[in-house]
Amino acid sequence: MANIQLTLTQEQATAVCEALDAYNRLCMGQIEEVANLVRYGVIPVAQHAWDKGRAQPTAEVCDEIQDHSHRIKALLGLSRNAHFGIGSPHLAMNGRRSYEVQKVLSKALAELRDPNPEFRSVDYDGLGPRYTSDPAPTAVAIDEILR
């Protein structure tokens, strides 16, 4: 099995970490994550002129998208607040893999931002329980090694 190494800026690593988090949530059936991304302004409203800038959806549009996400979950047999857990045997293997990568990347970013926080959030947990039999992924802030 080959190993792949990426070299990313802190901003790029943050974007990858956020993308992995969204993918993990979708794999677990948290379809409402799409509605959250719209509500938080990550997914904008389409503008047909390039010079208009990003447009945010109205609260009504956000609520309608949320309602649609609940209907999608119902079609999948999930209630509004239900989802598969990360350890579910029904979860796609790539969902599990991305979760493990996201956990180690999240820890490296958290320690880079604040190595000694007053309160350690879940971002500092790193890879806890394993959900694959893959070799454990690693993430290290290179600049910290070079100092």
Per-residue pLDDT of 55-111, as tens digits, reads: 899 999 999 999 999 999 999 999 999 999 999 999 999 999 999 999 999 999 999
Q: For residue 114, what is the DSSP state?
A: -
Q: How many CA atoms lie within 13 A of 63 on its CB side?
A: 3
SS3 state of residue 24: helix
Amino acid at 124: Y
19-31 confidence digits (pLDDT tens): 999 999 999 999 9
> Measured in whole angstroms, how far is the alpha carbon of residue 73 from the centre of its chain?
19
Between residues 48 and 28, the one the model is more confident about: 28
Q: For residue 105, what is the DSSP state?
A: H
| CA-CA-CA-CA dihedral for 42, 43, 47, 53, to nearest 10 | 0
Amino acid at 108: A
